[in-house]
Chain A
Amino acid sequence: MIEIDRIGFAIGKSEILNGVSAQLPRAKMTAIIGPNGAGKSTLLSLIARLIPPASGTIRVGGYDVQQTASDTLARILAVLRQENVIASRLRVRELVGFGRFPHTRGQPDAQDGEKIQWALDLMALSPFADRFLDQLSGGQRQRALIAMILCQDTDYILLDEPLNNLDLFHSRKLMQVLQDMAHRLGKTPVLVIHDINYAAKYADNILAMKQGGVFANGPTQAIFENHLLSDLFDTPIRIHQIDGQPVAMHH
């Protein structure tokens, strides 16, 4: 479980998060949704100890992320931010191999090789495994980064808009993989997602954020309700049930 307790965060004088509290259940996929600038990325960075909070505490699987050693946390949670610039000239397989770093400290063994291959296959990267990152398309690079995160094999997987640059096929594939990891392997994926219909279809739990606070938090069916989503995005949204799934119509 991820326990967020009265988290405050500010940059200079502007308050970005105003006392956010929420609990994200274990072994379930949580989608964080909300308008631009709501503080979703900021909250994800705080959970992943990339930035320190001004106030409050966050526990991931019982570990206080501000107090626990960074290398211990790296075996419990993995995070991929929205934008990533990689300075080193790496091949895809080498980048994915970094996912084993928290476990092996740069001394990979045969088992790591298998894990790396598994992650490459999962993201359909085998044909590009020996290419340099700067020889990939945006979507392929994004998949390579996600493969690195999956290769890290942590219980908690935090992804900030992972569907960026991914085509329909790979978006669906990634969501299925993550859902499967949650339900079969007991992992806890937490995703910031823009396309609310992906959230509707795959997430078990939704954290809706607006203006630096929690707007709503609960099971997907409860959140996908006409008024709530319309108020969240300040846009008329109608929910239809199609094949027993909520689908949001917003254009």
Chain B
Amino acid sequence: MPGRRLLAMAAILLIACAAYLSWGARGDWAFILSFRGTKLAALIVTGTAIAVSTKLFQTISGNRILTPSIMGFDALFVLLETTLLFALGGFGYTMLDSTIRFAVTLVLMTLAAILLFGTLMHGTRRDLHRMILVGIIFGVLFRSLSSLLARMIDPNEYAVLQANLFASFNQIELDLLGVSTVLIAVALFAAWRLRDTLDAMELGREIAINLGIDYDRHVLIVLGIIAVLVSVATALVGPVVFFGLLITSLTYQIMPGFRHRDHLIANGLLAGIVLVAGQTLMERAFHLHTPLSVIIEMLGGLAFLILILRGHTR
């Protein structure tokens, strides 16, 4: 039963990809395919990263409403990038190879996420209100620190960073696509290997330990995986707040059962479907210039409100 739904979703994704690649294509096919193909890959890669990181976070925090971005993960990434620019100066920052710069931020991000969120997750996972509050505070704190730093940086230099951080689904940061794809593949593989462990972790710390899971260590591992996924996605398309929540909420509706072996794949596929189909419709059918992210964020925000109002937090 879950298998059939996964197959159906994969088929829909393939159709969406074919439509995205071929719709309205005129002229040099080789050029069009490689141009659109790159964008397509980027959409799928980032969408999967955001959706899977959200699902992982919900599993270890024991609810269906929190996401890494609500908890301030991508604000943290922005803060680290800004700090890097501040420390290196505009010249140093631009001189540094973008891949190396990214690697440095990534390592810092993973460490910071494990430190900050690792302590937070300890013992308080059931306390949803406290988690939301801390998330809001983290988010505001990281953002105000970033803007404080931004004020101290020469505006011309800051523009470089802004161009990087205000990427979107329409303007994906393509020079990082190669290394990003590799990183995301590694992170997704690590999550996939933990699929059965994650099933047990979702039952909460005590029951997971009872079932033989080394729970505290695995929370840190999963936080590390989330940090990598969020960093890469944020580097590619900038901060995205509600997309992950939209996808996980829909996946809970679509996929029966609780197994991560089904839900991880379903989240990835659905993220791809929503982004690719959405982008195809926006770009080709309606010729709209509203960024897709605006619509997705609106829908995701709506899902967030509905979840909170209906009290469907588990």
Q: Give every chain B residue within 8 A of A106 (Cβ-Cβ).
A: 195-196, 199, 259
Chief secondary structure at chain A's binding surface = loop
Chain A residues bordering chain B, tally (CB within 8 A):
32
Q: Give every chain A residue within 8 A of B195 (Cβ-Cβ).
A: 106
Decide yes or no: A70 and B209 within 8 Å by CB, A85-B126, A87-B314, A105-B196 being known contacts. Answer: yes
Expressed in whole angstroms, the minimum distance between the Cβ of A43 and any Cβ of chain B is 15
Chain B residues bordering chain A, tally (CB within 8 A):
26
User: Which A68-104 residues have C-beta < 8 A from chain B?
Assistant: 69-75, 78-81, 84-90, 94, 98, 101-102
Q: Is B212 an interface residue (CB 8 A)?
A: yes
State which of A50, A70, A85 has its C-beta within 8 Å of the C-beta of B212.
A70
CB closest chain-B residue, reference A105: B196
Q: Give every chain B residue within 8 A of A86 (Cβ-Cβ).
A: 203-204, 207
Q: List 19 A-B contacts (CB under 8 A).
A: A48-B209, A48-B210, A69-B214, A70-B209, A70-B212, A70-B215, A71-B214, A73-B212, A84-B206, A86-B203, A86-B207, A87-B203, A87-B204, A87-B314, A89-B258, A94-B257, A98-B203, A106-B259, A149-B210
Q: Is B164 an interface residue (CB 8 A)?
A: no
Q: Is A49 an interface residue (CB 8 A)?
A: yes
Q: Give every chain B residue within 8 A of A71 (Cβ-Cβ).
A: 212-214
Expressed in whole angstroms, the minimum distance between the Cβ of B307 and any Cβ of chain A is 14
Inter-chain CA distance A105–B196, complex, in Å, is 7
State which of A85, A88, A102 has its C-beta within 8 Å of the C-beta of B211.
A102
Q: A residues bordering B, Cβ < 8 Å?
A: 45, 48-50, 69-75, 78-81, 84-90, 94, 98, 101-102, 105-107, 134, 149, 152
Closest 6 CB pairs of A and B: A74-B212, A106-B196, A71-B212, A87-B62, A102-B212, A88-B202
Q: Give every chain A residue within 8 A of B210 (Cβ-Cβ).
A: 48, 50, 74, 78-80, 149, 152
The residue among B205, B212, B252 with the most chain A CB atoms within 10 A of its own CB is B212
* Given pairs A88-B202, A101-B199, A106-B195, 7 additional interface contacts (CB within 8 A): A50-B206, A71-B214, A85-B204, A94-B258, A101-B212, A106-B196, A152-B211
